[in-house]
Amino acid sequence: MLEEAAVEFPVDKRLFALIALALMWTLEGWLPFFHEFNERGKRYPHAGRNLAVGAFNAAVMVALFAGLVVYVAAGARSAGFGLLPWLGPHRLGLPPWAETIAAVLVFDAWMYLWHRINHIIPFLWRFHRVHHSDPRMDVTSGVRFHPGEIALSFMARIFMVPLLGISIGQLAVYESILLPVIMLHHSNIAIPPGADVALRWIIVSPNMHRVHHSDWQPETDSNYASVFSWWDRIFGSYRWREDYRAITFGLHEFQDEAWQTLRGILKTPLRKDE
């Protein structure tokens, strides 16, 4: 069973991402929030750059680190190590389905914390700002991460997975929820305002995450949640605004088009702060 999970986990993860990305890309064409983002001369080059970075991360970085995460998770579970096994049937009597729900919630809380840390620690922010320097926000922005950030994220995960004691199956369940939600809240899809408000009581909605991609720092440093929006309310980082169409995306220091090329994206962490 562990051997099968080790093979299927990264493959299924990429499949979910591709399906969600294709669906959101299609819906953006029909129901765009920002109509100007759908200009063909700009939409396709923008998507091409972001997808090229995302494809490299999926092909190279995941191949390098995913197997190690699986190995560490399997070893920790076999040893009964970590928080979740302690909450399991032999300790508190939780059935497997309840433990899986607990795993999803605990890991999403970790994702919130890790995202917030990326905004606080200058070294981590150098890599994470590649994601925020995108001046146009659509579903392809959801895969625009510097390879250095992906590597650092996997290294942090190698430590957190055994501490939490999350299993391969539980991690796969979480990723299967995470990836479509990420594609949704980065998308340029026009959702009725009332539906967006209702949605953000449970998961991160597009308007909620648009605030996070604002070029105004108090908004950039808010709305960190990945799946469940309540973490921002619990930890005081939730922010909303009246006019989402007035948001300017990106970062002031990376507005020059040179930073939006593949070379510029990869060089972004090396830029000296003035």
User: pLDDT tens across 110-122, in order?
Assistant: 999 999 999 999 9
Position 78: which residue type? Answer: S
Decide if pLDDT at 79 tops 90: no
Report which DSSP code applies to 60.
Answer: I
pLDDT band, residue 67 (cuts 50/70/90): confident
127: nearest Cα among 111, 150, 143, 104:
150
251: nearest Cα among 226, 238, 268, 237:
268
246: nearest Cα among 196, 192, 210, 217:
210
CA gap 71, 81 in Å, rounded:
14
Length of the chain: 274
| Interval 50-63: pLDDT, tens | 999 999 998 887 78
- What is the pTM assigned to this prediction? 0.90
| Interval 151-199: pLDDT, tens | 999 999 999 999 998 988 889 899 889 999 999 999 999 999 999 999 9
Q: Could you tell me if 259 and 136 are in contact, meaning their C-beta atoms sit under 8 angstroms apart?
A: no
Decide if pLDDT at 238 tops 70: yes
As given in the structure block, the two tokens for residue 41 are 């001369």
Among 31-45, 60-74, 155-169, 231-245, the minimum mean pLDDT is found in: 60-74
